[in-house]
Amino acid sequence: MKNILLFIALLLSCSVICQTNPSITPPNNINFQFRILRDTPTVNPPPPPPPEVLPREGERMIFFVHGLGGTSDSWIRAADATEYKSLNIQDFPARDAFTRMPTYNEISLTNAALGLQRALEDYTPFMLDNDVEPTNNFIIAHSQGGVVSRENDRLVNLGNEKLYNGIVTFGTPHQGAQILNNSPHMAQDFANEACNELLAGPLTEGVNKSFIKIVTNQEMVEELLQAGCGIINPLVPVIFQDYSSGITEDYKVGATAITNLNASPTSIHRIGFYGIEEEPIIWRTVTSLEVAPPNGFDYFEADKDDHLIEPGGTVFSEMIDYHNRYVVWKAIAESRNKARCTWQWSIPLWIPACISYENGYFDAVNTRNAYKRGVDWWDRANDNYKEIIGALSKQVQTKWFCVCEDPHTGVITRIPISDPSLCTFSRQGPANICFPEEITTVTLVYKKSDGVVLKESGGNFPGADFDIKLGDSNHQQMRNDSRTKWALRNLYNGAYNSFFYTVEK
């Protein structure tokens, strides 16, 4: 019980909680089809520029900008690795550049962009003292930070002082973040279902062991679930307060602010990196968010994100435990069913032994069914999570047919119709018996993502020279994993655009 409660708390503290569906088993008249929305081929960057790339005049600053709810330390590993030669990081030489990690408010997109501008302007005295030429500077931004930086660029073009000439984004939802459209209301549903489905088994088992065996034991379990899981309801809005802040309204999918931003012209240099996470994305994403945050690893070593699902991990162990308990109670139910008195007609059911056998059987059935709820939840959690981030959607199509049977020949015909009212009894010739039939087809469409941002958004930086895939990097990992090391090394070597070429120290 303790582990389950801790696990639910872990999920609630995750910044990407999702909604679930009661079941993915379709009714008899629904046909599920599975289709993968294919990812477009990754654009291979050009080879590094020739050695004759001319060094720029003046020094350079690189601004590392954090994402939603981040701090000035969000990029600390990458920023320090870039600036300090003394770190001696293998295959990643430090560069002749100063790094800074500005912060901003999250009231609205415009306010955040203005806050970023003020933070950048605070560095101007340092720039003057160290011969830093603003047009040499560029931004490296994570997630929301990329949208804020682009909005800052838009405002700069309207008359503010320009302190950089390039933007590089990692996991930025350039076309909006579907998770923001769905949270936090879907988080409430997810939390409620997780609590109910995961606690049902242990509570049912505990009640049946601790109380007099009566028919109302199961009602008691439901009351306990309602009371216990009701505690979670007021916590969800508090946990998700960052995701209902003003700025998130501006880059939901379809938001006016992100639409206008994408339509705004700019002449700065642009490169975008997007991640494609491995399955199951929910547990890998939760790992990098809460269990093993990227900056807890050494420089560019945050590649491991399977702590929860590896043998011995919390999710792995809980899944095995629920399955085993379901199997055990299924066997107990079958055994107790054989011991019931119902088949012995000569023995009345009111005999105490028979009552005990009967109650024991129903206790086992209820406990088996309760653990099956948990087993099913573990099975569908990943797909449910994909729904909230937009990586899984259901396309529903309904068609009507008029089904007629000739009573004389038994021949059945099915004719497509536009409306059920068009299907009537036919009295011409044989008295056909007709009835309208509705067929609903549900197509599941899967899309690739980094666990938070869809590829179609993170990999669609308007006007960028390149949108480059970071394979197996989730939304948080890409701040400090080996793919980030590869991406930044190529960036500084000028592989994508010679503007970003930065001399080694």
Task: Give me the CATH number covering residue 92.
Answer: 3.40.50.1820
Q: What tens digit of pLDDT does each residue of 293-309 get?
A: 999 999 999 999 999 99
**Per-residue confidence (pLDDT) for residue 117, from 0 to 100:** 95
Tokens of 393: 């959607």
- Do 290 and 160 belong to one domain? yes
Are the beta carbons of 164 and 137 closer than 8 angstroms?
yes
438 by Cβ neighbours in 10 Å (0-12 / 13-18 / 19+) ranks as: exposed
- Do 100 and 225 belong to one domain? no
| Last residue within a domain, chosen from 363, 389, 415 | 389
Does residue 45 fall inside a structural domain? no
Residue 33 sits at φ, ψ, to 5 deg, of -120, 145
- β-strand 392-405 against 433-446: which pairing, if any? antiparallel
- Do 167 and 304 belong to one domain? yes
| Last residue within a domain, chosen from 423, 446, 469 | 446
Lowest mean pLDDT of 143-152, 406-415, 494-503, name the range.
406-415
Q: Residue 479, Cβ neighbours under 10 Å: how many?
A: 29
Residue 266 sits at φ, ψ, to 5 deg, of -155, 155
Quote the mean pLDDT of the chain: 83
- Do 223 and 166 belong to one domain? no
- Do 335 and 225 belong to one domain? yes
Are the beta carbons of 361 and 332 closer than 8 angstroms?
no
- Do 230 and 331 belong to one domain? yes
- Do 70 and 160 belong to one domain? yes
pLDDT over 50 at 28, yes or no: no
Q: Which residues constitute the domain of residue 427?
A: 392-446
**Per-residue confidence (pLDDT) for residue 347, from 0 to 100:** 54
pLDDT band at 33 (very low <50, low <70, confident <90, very high): very low
pLDDT over 80 at 318, yes or no: yes
Rg of the chain in Å (alpha carbons): 30
**Per-residue confidence (pLDDT) for residue 119, from 0 to 100:** 96
Q: Give the mean model confidence (pLDDT) for residues 88-93.
A: 95
Taking alpha carbons only, the member of 103, 46, 97 closest to residue 71 is 103
**Dist. CA 488–CA 495, nearest whole Å:** 10
pLDDT over 50 at 42, yes or no: no
Q: Give the mean model confidence (pLDDT) for residues 328-338.
A: 91
pLDDT over 70 at 44, yes or no: no
**Per-residue confidence (pLDDT) for residue 163, from 0 to 100:** 95
**Per-residue confidence (pLDDT) for residue 79, from 0 to 100:** 98
pLDDT band at 144 (very low <50, low <70, confident <90, very high): very high
Does residue 54 fall inside a structural domain? no
Strand order in the sheet with 392-405: 30-36, 433-446, 392-405, 412-417
Does residue 175 fall inside a structural domain? yes
Are the beta carbons of 403 and 437 closer than 8 angstroms?
yes
Higher pLDDT, 140 or 430: 140
**Dist. CA 42–CA 458, nearest whole Å:** 13
Q: What are the residues facing 439 on neighbouring strands?
A: 399
What is the percent of the chain with per-residue pLDDT over 90, rounded to a whole number?
58
**Per-residue confidence (pLDDT) for residue 4, from 0 to 100:** 46
pLDDT band at 46 (very low <50, low <70, confident <90, very high): low
Number of domains composing the chain: 3
Are the beta carbons of 4 and 414 closer than 8 angstroms?
no
pLDDT band at 225 (very low <50, low <70, confident <90, very high): low
Are the beta carbons of 392 and 20 closer than 8 angstroms?
no
- Do 202 and 319 belong to one domain? yes
Are the beta carbons of 266 and 162 closer than 8 angstroms?
no
Strand order in the sheet with 166-170: 98-100, 61-65, 138-142, 166-170, 269-276, 466-471
Does residue 303 fall inside a structural domain? yes
Q: Give the mean model confidence (pLDDT) for residues 360-378.
A: 92
CB burial of 327-351 (b: ≥16 within 10 Å; e: otherwise) equals eebbebbeebeeeebeeeeeeeeee
- Do 209 and 166 belong to one domain? no
pLDDT band at 228 (very low <50, low <70, confident <90, very high): low
Does residue 101 fall inside a structural domain? yes
**Per-residue confidence (pLDDT) for residue 433, from 0 to 100:** 81
Helix (H) or strand (E) holding 179: helix 178-182
| Last residue within a domain, chosen from 401, 419, 446 | 446
DSSP assignment of 284-352: HHHIIIIIS-GGGSSTT-TT---TTTSTTSHHHHHHHHHHHHHHHHHHHHHHHHHH-STT-TTS-TTSH
- Do 167 and 23 belong to one domain? no
Q: What are the residues facing 273 on neighbouring strands?
A: 170, 468
What is the percent of the chain with per-residue pLDDT over 70, rounded to a whole number?
78
- Do 147 and 220 belong to one domain? no
Does residue 492 fall inside a structural domain? yes
pLDDT over 70 at 345, yes or no: no
Q: What tens digit of pLDDT does each residue of 8-19 get?
A: 555 544 433 333
Are the beta carbons of 66 and 479 closer than 8 angstroms?
no
Lowest mean pLDDT of 242-251, 407-416, 469-478, name the range.
242-251
Does residue 160 fall inside a structural domain? yes
Does residue 112 fall inside a structural domain? yes
Are the beta carbons of 465 and 167 closer than 8 angstroms?
no
Q: Give the mean model confidence (pLDDT) for residues 118-145.
A: 96
Residue 329 sits at φ, ψ, to 5 deg, of -70, -25
- Do 217 and 169 belong to one domain? no
Q: Which residues lie below 8 Å from residue 361, measured CB to CB, with a gap of 6+?
A: 333, 336, 337, 339, 340
Torsion of CA 80, 85, 89, 91, to 10 degrees: 110
**Per-residue confidence (pLDDT) for residue 162, from 0 to 100:** 85
Measuring CA to CA, how many Å separate 257 from each of 104, 175, 227, 244, 250? 18, 11, 42, 16, 5
Q: Looking at residue 142, what DSSP letter applies? A: E
pLDDT over 90 at 370, yes or no: yes
Q: Give the mean model confidence (pLDDT) for residues 434-457.
A: 92
